[in-house]
Amino acid sequence: MTSPDPPGTHPAWLPPEAFRPIGSRRTLVLGDGLLTETVHDEAARACARYGGHVHRHTRNEPYDLVLALTTAEPLPGPAQTVLDEFRSTTGPPANTIGGEGYLTARRHGVTTVLADDAAGLLYGLFHVVRLGERAFTEERPPERHAPTMRRRMLDHWDNVDIHPVMGQVERGYAGGSLFWRDGAPRGDLARVRDYARLLAACAVNAISVNNVNVHATEALLLTDRLGDVAAIADVLRPYGIRVHLSVSFASPVTLGRLPSADPLDEDVRKWWADVTERVYDTIPDFGGYVVKADSEGQPGPFAYGRDHADGANLLAEALEPFGGVVHWRAFVYNHRQDWRDRSTDRARAAHDHFAPLDGRFRDNVILQVKHGPIDFQAREPVSPVIAAMPATHLAVELQVTQEYTGQQRHVCYLAPMWREVLGFRPWGPDGPAVADVAGGVSGNGGGLVGVSNVGDDPYWTGHPLAQANLYAFGRLAWAPWTDPAAILDEWIDLTFTPAATGDTEPAATRETERLRHILHTIMDDSWRTYERYTAPLGVGFMVRPGHHYGPDVDGYEYTPWGTYHFADRDGVGVDRTRATGTGFSGQYPPAWSEVYESLDRCPDDLLLFFHHVPYGHVLHSGSTVIQHIYDTHFAGAGQAVEAGRRWEEAAGLVDPSLHARVTDLLAEQIRCAGEWRDQITTYFFRKSGKPDTRGRHISR
């Protein structure tokens, strides 16, 4: 990396200018409570900078902006009018705004935000920030906004100690942890506070502060080092974010010195109950526990002959009196598989383990399911577990950190992938979508969880453009049906071109539009570009073992990890059909089970996930598998080069140090994409002996 870092921490999507429209006006904030104070403080800070005024009590003077709790009395005239208008058009029982929701309108020159609770007021404030000047120029009828997902959570895979292999942050590509450094809390709570603001601005409301792989020091966060967690909770609280903790299932043994951690043992239950009570004495609004059990070496209930419902219910019982939840991860599979054994299929594992347990989990258990059946690959089908457990609260887990999507060295805007996942309808076109399941349309929604991509890097995410993924995660958790390009526009407006600058000179507007166009050209399709130059047609992996960066086609082929492609001289892909394969396709409801089972109907982009086919197999696109591999790899690597060229045009339109950082990273992306192209095309040429019909150069 040759580029200079920015002078301080980059403000991401909350640069001061984004607050100019509020800060230069007269604002009234009405209501009580901690989060209402935050709303006031935000407005006051903006006013101190831009010359406006903010009041906490109604005075006999006009306001441009009223932010009020509906419980505040009396509401000023314009706000009361908006509330009456809303109530008269909706009628009971729908006429409440609802927890975390807000009502916004502009009537007779006054912009109004109303909320039933203060979290809604905070989110309404950030709605006004997003609108910028438009919030104060156009009349608007009352609009109600409310989150689809109740819990919008980021899991940090941060270690307290530096792990000898995984470092300070497991799969972290943005420097060290915001919370921990070399065995101790960082103490830089100002940075954590800034992080909380950024998250509140995209409505994230929960964070777990340590890795799901809980090592010895991290385990102590539950007991001896709980004070460190409480200090973080204190800073996050004013922004409506609750703290959760990853805990080790073996804690009663390792911390409590009990002989067992058996979930049905009375002493074990009491241990968890006592420990949890102490947690709530210290952090009254503690969110709950996150658990990775019987997975990749983590302890779990299997050691005692118990199942995962027994395990999850043990912790849920301890949390229940305090309103806490346990996020129990469904990422359970055999990571010591014999590669010769063709009957074991890692894709099947979560469904095999968990679907039979549906209905056995306590009400405050949330089963946290990775969006795909394997492990956050650039292309996977949606996990069949999501459709298999109607009597269980389910959360869908996304990987914001780019472990398998370019490690924040490649531009890879993930919102289009997430939007596809959330919009997938497992029961067919007339059934609910994944977003409905996680959002609780059928009453069992557990929300959306993202593995954080943030670290102590000055740009927060290493790659400055990876900030868009963090922003988009929160926005999709709030409103999963939003167009990813529209989210990108919001992010661009706030981060690079706050409308707040008020600079409407034609030259400035032209520059703004040029930058917007460049960023869309580079980012809109970047996930598919990444997919094109990496593993083909949904087959997955082909990454270097261990760190998972760059190509290594056979890197995992003869290992115990269960991630194989089975390429030979005749063909490639994993037969997961019921007829001749592992039967995985049968884990879906009929609408999709039949599609995936059928070689004719299976979508091209998942073909090799479900079928082993000859290289000459003709896709729906009309191309053969081998020609598709050649074409996509040449195209994808070419698109990376094109992205680099487009970024050059952004010089002068963004801060020079940010421009330099992205330039350096694009150079690496172009190099790596070329390496992918060459290894994949050569590998498949050597295996198949089939030439590229377009005669491009392939190393032999």
Q: Give the C-alpha separation, 535 to 541, whole Å.
A: 7
Angle 34-50/118-131 helices, nearest 10 degrees?
Answer: 30
User: Of 213 and 461, which has the nearer Cβ to ligand GCV?
Assistant: 213
Whole-number Cα distances in Å, 214 to 165, 298, 325, 681: 14, 8, 18, 40
- Nearer to ligand GCV by Cβ, of 72 and 219: the residue is 219
267 catalytic? Reply is: no
In the DSSP assignment, the letter for residue 618 is B
Residue with tokens 């929701």: 101
Three-state SS letters, 93-112: CCCCCCCCCEEEEEECCEEE
- Tell me how far, at minimum, the Cβ of 350 lies from ligand GCV, in Å: 12
Min CB(113)–ligand GCV separation in Å: 38
- Is 511 annotated in the active site? no
Radius of gyration of the chain (CA): 26
3-state secondary structure of 257: coil
Give the residue from 602, 681, 677, 605 showing the smallest Cα distance to 641: 677
3-class DSSP state for residue 595? helix
In the complex, what is the shortest distance from the CB of residue 211 to ligand GCV, in angstroms, rounded to a whole number?
Answer: 6
Least distance in angstroms from the C-beta of 282 to ligand GCV: 26
Among residues 110 and 214, whose Cβ is nearest to ligand GCV? 214
Please pick, among 296, 483, 554, 570, the residue that the annotation labels catalytic: 296
Tokens of 459: 């740009």
Nearer to ligand GCV, 167 or 259 (CB): 167
Do residues 304 and 314 lie in contact, with contact meaning Cβ atoms separated by under 8 Å? no
C-alpha 639/C-alpha 632 separation (Å) is: 10
C-beta of residue 374 within 8 angstroms of C-beta of residue 563:
yes
Catalytic residue, chosen from 42, 228, 345, 375, is: 375
Q: Which residue, 403 or 457, has its beta carbon nearer to ligand GCV?
A: 403
Q: How many whole angstroms separate alpha carbon 402 and alpha carbon 414?
A: 9
Q: Interface with ligand GCV by CB under 6 A: which residues? A: 157, 170-171, 212-213, 292, 331, 375, 403
Q: What six digits make up the tokens of 438? A: 């996680």
Separate counts of helices (H) and strands (E) for the chain: 21, 20
Work out how close the CB of 626 gets to ligand GCV at its nearest, in angstroms, rounded to a whole number. 30
Least CB distance to ligand GCV at residue 330 (A): 10
Secondary structure class of 43 (helix, strand, coil): helix
To ligand GCV, the closest distance from the beta carbon of 333 in angstroms equals 10
Tell how strand 613-614 and strand 571-572 pair up: antiparallel
* Shortest Å, Cβ 470 to ligand GCV: 18
Q: Which of 403, 575, 597, 631 is catalytic?
A: 403
Contact 515, 476 (CB under 8 A): no
Q: What is the 3-state secondary structure (H, E, C) of 412-474?
A: CCCHHHHHHHHHCCCCCCCCCCHHHHHHCCCCCEEEEEEECCCCCCCCCCCCHHHHHHHHHHH
Separation CA 279–CA 257 (nearest Å)? 19
Q: How far is the CB of 376 from ligand GCV (least distance, A)?
A: 7
281 is catalytic: no
Q: Nearer Cβ to ligand GCV, position 170 or 307?
A: 170
3-state secondary structure of 343: coil
Distance (Å, rounded) from C-alpha 205 to C-alpha 222?
A: 21
Span between the terminal Cα atoms of the chain, in Å: 33
- Catalytic residue annotation: 296, 375, 403
